[in-house]
Amino acid sequence: MNRHLLSAGDLSRDDALLIVHTAEELARISDRPIKKLPTLRGRTVVNLFFEDSTRTRLSFEVAAKRLSADVINFSTKGSSVSKGESLKDTALTLEAMGADAVVVRHSASGAPHRLAGWISGAIVNAGDGTHEHPTQALLDAFTMRRRLGRLEGLRVAIVGDILHSRVARSNVLLLDTLGAEVSVVAPPTLMPVGVGSWPCTVSFDLDAVLPKCDVVMMLRVQRERMAGAYFPSAREYSRRYGLDAPRMATLPDTAIVMHPGPMNRGMEIAAEVADSVRSTIVEQVANGVAVRMAVLYLLLGGDSS
Amino acid sequence: MPRGTPRPVTGDVSAARPVLDGDELGRAISRIAHEILERTHGGTDTVLLGIPTRGVALATRLADRMSTFEGVRPPTGSLDVTLHRDDLHLRGLRALQVTDLPVDGVDGKVVVLVDDVLFSGRTIRAALDALLDTGRPRAVQLAVLVDRGHREVPIRADYVGKNIPTSLRETVHVLLREYDDRDGVLLGPASGVDAPA
């Protein structure tokens, strides 16, 4: 394992499988009456969130607490960042306080990489701009493996706002490492420049892809990152790229539907699809805790040298 | 890391001298099985939990013998202690092993922990913590194939296959057919990296 988790692309196949296997053992602990482990006693984990988050921040907090680490939650609201403190000065403050791990979410792509140069502790990227979100990709892979029993050869379609999605990029990189066949599906305006160099196939036609996939992963249309007009109307987007019940019926019988959350019900995913038995959306949240425990254990569990 | 991969035998096995051969090892397991049956009044409400990796195979063998002797096969399982170890921050990262408890759990049962070598006692201390997080056994006992001395915490075994006096510099290798090419216990010179475990 590397000292930090900055990109899903940094993980070798062995690293990724080690995280998934470790998460599998840790997931069983979540079924026990006593869920707390003494493993990271005396270690400090800082949740440094410059962007809003429910799932990821809570999930990291629960994961660190289950391993007995001390957790410090930092959000920009109410901190000196609102007085104009720079990322570097914030980092130096954390360094002075002796953080063993810093879980960072930032609206700027690459912020965790910069932090890794300033802080001696382990940096975990919890989402940076439109770049990467490696723990989401890990928990998605873990969820697929639990539901479908394998990752090798799995046909995965990632559908929606690929352009603004850090989840898509991390998933493409990780799933390719793990031997899955990934295709990304989006309107041309929401496809990133250079997607041709990604290790995946590209399609603009959802209906052609659906009958040939084992996993379909719907992405949220990120209106907060959209300054221009990327598609004529929400209704038109939903008609062409939204997953509704008739579209879901064209999937193979065993296929599952995933969504990293938060969802726009009625936009990229219909409510009846989100609540169907094929949907793993709630499972993904539960699995997120086990995967983040595994990441924290593997980064902080050994000696620090 | 595949699940349940045994830690490879460290050190130079060829330089080690045999202490127990395969037959003697089998007899030691048979005797422990008899002793467990005696102490637990026929093995009712008893659970055998092996500590990965070789303890798991030993627990299975003990249960098989108990079933042969008295017709009652106690449930077996495995208990990984890695997350409860007290030396995690002193050493390199350890991969987790499988924890697999019997479906009925351990509440109210007599739990016999099974390990291959009892040395510092710290593994068993960690195992007690791990076990008590999963439930409340009526009693906990300890069975080991080899007791090599040098305890660092006040822990003793209830069932011992063989006491082997050792120096701290020596290494005890337990070979089991489930993982190795044969059964046996060897005593070898220190590998240099194998600290008390």
Is B95 part of a structural domain of the chain? yes
Domain count, chain B: 1
Q: Which residues of B touch A34 (CB under 8 A)?
A: 133-134
Alpha-carbon distance A3 to nearest alpha carbon in chain B (angstroms): 12
In whole angstroms, what is the distance from residue B62 CA to residue B79 CA?
16
Residue A65 confidence (pLDDT) above 90: yes
Binning pLDDT at 50, 70 and 90, where does residue B3 land? very low
pLDDT digits (tens, 9 = 90+) for A215-258: 999 999 987 777 678 888 888 999 999 999 999 999 999 999 99
Residue A282 confidence (pLDDT) above 50: yes
Residue B2 confidence (pLDDT) above 50: no
User: Which stretch of DSSP H or E encloses residue A30?
Assistant: none
Alpha-carbon distance A43 to nearest alpha carbon in chain B (angstroms): 10
Say whether A66 is catalytic: no
3-state secondary structure of B119: coil
In whole angstroms, what is the distance from residue B24 CA to residue B96 CA?
32
Say whether A88 is catalytic: no
Q: Active site residue: A57, A133, A166, A220, which one?
A: A133
Is B195 part of a structural domain of the chain? no
What count of Cα atoms within 13 Å lies in the side-chain half-sphere of residue B124? 25
In whole angstroms, what is the distance from residue B53 CA to residue B13 CA?
18
Say whether A56 is catalytic: yes
The phi and psi torsions of B41 (rounded to 5 degrees) equal: 55, 55
Is B168 part of a structural domain of the chain? yes
**Number of inter-chain CB pairs under 8 A, A vs B:** 53
How distant, in Å, are the alpha carbons of A51, A204, A303, B159 from that of A121? 21, 42, 12, 45
The answer to whether residue A34 neighbours chain B at the CB level (below 8 Å) is: yes
Query: How many residues are given for chain B?
Result: 197
Superfamily of domain A8-132+285-300: Aspartate/ornithine carbamoyltransferase (3.40.50.1370)
Question: How much is the pLDDT for B11?
Answer: 56
User: Which of B98, B133, B134 is facing A25, going by the closest CB pair?
Assistant: B98
pTM: 0.89
Check CB contact under 8 Å for B83 and A18: no
pLDDT digits (tens, 9 = 90+) for B141-175: 999 999 999 999 999 999 999 999 999 999 999 99
A37 token code pair? 């482990």
Three-state SS sequence of B10-21: CCCHHHCEEEEC
Is B3 part of a structural domain of the chain? no
Beta-bridge partner residues of B43: none
Is B196 part of a structural domain of the chain? no
In whole angstroms, what is the distance from residue A1 CA to residue A295 CA?
10
| Residue B138 neighbours by CB distance under 10 Å | 12
Is B11 part of a structural domain of the chain? no
Residue A171 confidence (pLDDT) above 80: yes
| Residue A172 neighbours by CB distance under 10 Å | 25
Is B36 part of a structural domain of the chain? yes
Check CB contact under 8 Å for A21 and B89: no
Q: Any idea where the domains of chain A sit in the sequence?
A: 8-132+285-300, 134-280
Q: Are A46 and A104 in contact (CB under 8 A)?
A: no
CATH number for the segment(s) A134-280: 3.40.50.1370
**What domain range is B149 assigned to?**
16-187
Q: Please give the DSSP secondary-structure letter assigned to residue B113.
A: E
User: A139 Cβ partners below 8 Å, 6+ apart?
Assistant: A23, A284, A287, A288, A290, A291, A292
Is B52 part of a structural domain of the chain? yes
In whole angstroms, what is the distance from residue A245 CA to residue A38 CA?
46
Per cent of chain A over pLDDT 70 is 99
* Strand-pair category, B171-175 with B184-188: antiparallel
Mean pLDDT of chain B: 89
pLDDT digits (tens, 9 = 90+) for B35-74: 999 999 999 999 999 999 899 999 999 999 999 999 989 9
Residue in the block written with tokens 């879901």: A248
Say whether A105 is catalytic: yes
Check CB contact under 8 Å for B83 and A39: yes
Contacts of residues B58-65 at CB distance under 8 Å and 24 or more positions apart, as own/partner, are B58/B29, B58/B114, B58/B115, B58/B116, B58/B143, B58/B145, B58/B176, B59/B112, B59/B114, B61/B29, B62/B29, B62/B32, B62/B33, B62/B36, B62/B112, B62/B114, B62/B143, B65/B29, B65/B30, B65/B33
ipTM exceeds 0.90, yes or no: no
Q: Are A45 and A301 in contact (CB under 8 A)?
A: no
Residue in the block written with tokens 């270690």: A43
Question: Please, what is the Cα angle at A245 between A239 and A248, to 5 degrees?
Answer: 95
